[in-house]
Structure 1
């Protein structure tokens, strides 16, 4: 019998969620380095390099790798010989309460506050719980007398792209997976890992796919030795075919969208093949620990050698420097897709809620609280600042959510250009071309690096929206890639893949 103090589990979870906010798993960093070495497409190389610089800076600065600090997910394997108790003699917590306590402490940490993501009442008022609770808890009772814990902070960009289907036994799983990828777009922030769950029931397949993401990255070893069974053959086939689509890092093209394909299976009904697909993004965040009753877990930090040779800033020879305070339509018309720009000057911020308010004001013929004429808007909701930071980690959010607002803001308010992540839909691209604007892609998953290019910030409107308020940022050499130019050409070639 192993007695484990519930306070030790809550404390361990808090430490783990803090740790994964600023540390990538070592196997992921090594896989990124291999992808950089192999990539020849310049925009994709620039994105991967930013991710590596961001990884190093986040670990050193102990600040989040991504502004979307994720949903707190806790996977417990509880040995039959484990008994929980409270040190203070109080009534025992439930597993959910223990997990919530750990999440609450981690996300409210004053030294490294994390952005709260969870909302209650999903079909009603959708109020933010403000401490990222409740955690998502999965528990399995197993043999033994130890407690094994997997802690995951999973951002919305990856899970929102999850897919499920029930195939027939004669169908090709590989064909189905490859058919999903173009439609998933780049909002899951590749390069990353694809998790595939096969078999069981629908909910079991989804859980298998999710759990497979946290198995060690070993695609390089598998490619070197070849497949030994059907599962490994499927992994190799999907990885090769996925990267051949040309989606690439951040959807910018190239050969490195998928770093690994992971797979877990379970027995299933003879008439079906349940298949689930879940991607893990460039903000891969998870850690494992075991409790044996001797106290809280000690999270081991990777050696600094992991980032040897990685710079502490991003600088790309040949990048075009742009002064946003003097930017005009003539200059925007000179931009071409694939160019790297370094932006300096003032930029506005707005996300979903602010965009809706702006468009509603236009529809009513009322004045806007900010002048958008000739301005650039950055789709971002940053983490709270600490110390002398102007803002906390401030990476881009998925641009397609703002597509419906592009035409009215460009046509009626004079908006010139936008910054976000992932592709734009055909209507947004048509509006950009119609009004001679542009869409610029910032690297999703490089939030701390990007925040260091933001030297000042102030709220201009909709302060009640918190992180979604309209801010004005002052930038110095903020890196972006021209993703849609004034002629309506897009770098996201996978949108044309059938």
Structure 2
């Protein structure tokens, strides 16, 4: 009878720690290949530029070993424990994985952004170390421990949808209609994870689990579907891409790179369906432990990345001096136009906006003067070495929509920078106040951070990464998303590419 080796507690913690660091700066190899192909066939100049920036950012992150995205995600771990596995630890697996997450996110060499708030209902204070992790454990045959480790950002996680359909309903129709309404906050192009059947919680878990599977849509398209499930995957893939949403919602040929589906038997009266998208910062890795030491992770070949050159010279966009903004200049900006921003801007997200609005309503002065200024919706990663700031990509702007009606006229704020579309009320407020909304590319955080020349927290420091910073930038590349007349690129762009 074979003797099973003991799996050391240290090997579990070290392996998960290394996995979290590894996925923070390495895209999966297949994702790079699929994204490169999308770049090569894209006909929309705006979408092609966005995909190009994501690829350049991905290569920079891989070489510099710094996060792909400023939202370094909530830790998600699916663990399959072999029933014959022997684990040399008396601690719960949750405790071991939390320790690994703590070490990975507080690393001195590559600190990751802590995004978890410990109390979701009331204080919503940041846990400071991104714990606890979201851990799911399954007992399976065998004598090994298998892990799928991923880091899931809030922008794509927030677009999760669930429904219980009638058994005679079309899952494909529901998915396509749902994706059409999601907007661009999940940072396409990415992957759709779909769970069908089981129970409510089973469906959601399957949709999350299936996102960790290797991409194979090209193989299916080349040889043709070999099962009814593959036929449904291809149908959804083609119909979603035909919506014309495109990279970052700008309008284009590719919205999804693959569609993954997992199903399970369900009640005869039910058809539960869950949809979870993965964004352009797709991050996951699989490994197993057998008692012979910690997992080893092999970096992808840097030659897998295409040589994409992004032109950020004066000829590639209109130069804008943020320290001398005027209504006349803003009036000249057109949706889809590239701008290169230089000068001073402030940062601020949900929590900062809420405090500023509370101060205004109480008749109190704001800690910063926003008149004729720009605000960037960002929660950056801490810097290391000689960095001015860590990766600093945009967050989803719709979360700030509710504040604009009061904030814009009260402060004189003229420019907002974020990602994805704005809602109707926000667009009306932008037009009414002759302001403008610009977008930076979600998934290009490390690239964007290289335009930052200085960064200093100036207010609400207790909010951590959501504090207000004063930044000085030089040639920060952005695109006009909503002009001062209320025309949105997220409306006119996809309309051109819908097919």
TM-score greater than 0.5 by the shorter chain: yes
2:316 is paired with a residue of what secondary structure? Answer: coil
Query: Which residue is equivalent to 1:401?
Result: 399
**Could you tell me how far apart the structure 1 residues matched to 2:393 and 2:130 are?**
19
Query: Which residue is equivalent to 1:154?
Result: 152
**Could you tell me how far apart the structure 2 residues matched to 1:233 and 1:484 are?**
38
Residues 367-382 of structure 1 aligned to structure 2 (within 5 Å): 367-382=365-380
The alpha carbon displacement at 1:466 in A equals: 2.2
**Could you tell me how far apart the structure 1 residues matched to 2:470 and 2:108 are?**
25
Query: Which residue is equivalent to 2:362?
Result: 364
Task: Check whether the contact 2:251–2:493 (CA below 8 A) recurs between aligned residues.
Answer: no
Residues 186-335 of structure 1 aligned to structure 2 (within 5 Å): 186-311=184-309, 318-335=316-333
Task: Check whether the contact 2:69–2:392 (CA below 8 A) recurs between aligned residues.
Answer: yes
**Could you tell me how far apart the structure 2 residues matched to 1:417 and 1:127 are?**
29
1:412 is paired with a residue of what secondary structure? Answer: helix
Q: Does 1:5 align with 2:5?
A: no
**Structure 1 308/425 Cα, relative in aligned 2: closer, same or farther at 3 Å?**
closer
Q: Does 1:50 align with 2:70?
A: no
Aligned partner (choices 461, 464, 471) of residue 462 of structure 2: 464
Query: Which residue is equivalent to 2:171?
Result: 173
Task: Check whether the contact 1:196–1:262 (CA below 8 A) recurs between aligned residues.
Answer: yes
The alpha carbon displacement at 1:459 in A equals: 2.0
The alpha carbon displacement at 1:494 in A equals: 8.2
Task: Check whether the contact 1:185–1:495 (CA below 8 A) recurs between aligned residues.
Answer: no
**Could you tell me how far apart the structure 2 residues matched to 1:316 and 1:339 are?**
13
**Could you tell me how far apart the structure 2 residues matched to 1:314 and 1:146 are?**
50
The alpha carbon displacement at 1:314 in A equals: 5.6
**Could you tell me how far apart the structure 2 residues matched to 1:106 and 1:439 are?**
35
**Could you tell me how far apart the structure 2 residues matched to 1:346 and 1:158 are?**
30
**Could you tell me how far apart the structure 2 residues matched to 1:340 and 1:102 are?**
42
Structure 2: which 5+ residue stretches go unaligned? Answer: none
**Structure 1 124/364 Cα, relative in aligned 2: closer, same or farther at 3 Å?**
closer
The alpha carbon displacement at 1:183 in A equals: 2.2
What is the CA deviation profile of residues 460-479 of structure 1, one whole-angstrom value per residue up to 9, with x for unaligned ones? 22222222221111111111
**Structure 1 495/173 Cα, relative in aligned 2: closer, same or farther at 3 Å?**
farther
What is the CA deviation profile of residues 385-434 of structure 1, one whole-angstrom value per residue up to 9, with x for unaligned ones? 11111111101011011111112222111000100011100011001111
Structure 1: which 5+ residue stretches go unaligned? Answer: 87-91
**Could you tell me how far apart the structure 2 residues matched to 1:271 and 1:407 are?**
46
The alpha carbon displacement at 1:435 in A equals: 1.2
1:131 is paired with a residue of what secondary structure? Answer: coil
**Structure 1 8/95 Cα, relative in aligned 2: closer, same or farther at 3 Å?**
same
Query: Which residue is equivalent to 1:82?
Result: 85
Please, which moves more after superposition, 192-201 or 314-323?
314-323
